Amino acid sequence: MKVELENVKPRDIEKRSFEIITEELGTRQLPKEQELIIKRCIHTSADFEYADNLCFSTEAVTKAIEAIKEGACIVTDTQMVKAGINKKALSKYGGEVYCFMADEDVAQTARDNGSTRATASMDKAAAMGKKLIFAIGNAPTALVRIYELIEEKKLDPELIIGVPVGFVNVVQSKELIMQTEVPYIVARGRKGGSNIAACICNALLYMIDDNRD
């Protein structure tokens, strides 16, 4: 079988990928505010089901962009999400990215309470007193704790990106977040992951300024 490769310059690979995604979506019209985020999730995963399973609360994207411009920080549940977020782009607006999973005080709190580190990380984040966006790509227990903290009036996030992947309490934790009045972007069902959490953060940043030099 003869294999024919597309002749695409390195700097044009992403552009060509998005053209292919648009072509394969066909006549489907995505909401303008959500389009770049959905397409970037498809680009990251090669999974077109994100066109159906990504759920957005009303004006979630607009509110998230406003929060970023006002210096909101991002809290994640994995070092992989932290590594994948464009921190230079976020820092233009005064924001930072935090992951507390490896912190010794978090580990000790988890041991003392018999909880997961992800749960203890969310408690530490809630005590920061900062404007926060949560990007959860791995641990449903993080989403459950965020929900509890919101219900206890101890946390009022600017946005929750709820895209943990897996089987145990993954679907349920996402549904809990969608019951709150907090802005959210949730991948309904079992799909998601750290790469998806990071790419949603980056999509929001690139909607503000796509200059990545």
Q: Judging by DSSP bridges, how do beta strands 54-56 and 184-187 pair with one another?
A: antiparallel
Cβ density class 3-23: b for 16+ within 10 Å, e for less: eeeeeeeeeeeeeeeeeebee
Q: Which residues contact 127 (CB under 8 A, 6 or more apart)?
A: none
Other beta carbons less than 10 A from residue 163's beta carbon: 31
What whole-number distance in Å separates Cα of residue 125 and Cα of residue 134? 9
Specify whether the backbone of 140 is left (phi greater than 0), alpha (psi in -120 to 50) or beta.
alpha
Which position among 43, 82, 145, 174 bears the catalytic label? 43
Q: How many residues does the chain have?
A: 213
Whether 43 is catalytic is: yes
Number of helical H runs and strand E runs in the chain: 11, 6
Other beta carbons less than 10 A from residue 131's beta carbon: 16
What whole-number distance in Å separates Cα of residue 88 and Cα of residue 10? 22
Which residues are part of the catalytic machinery? 43
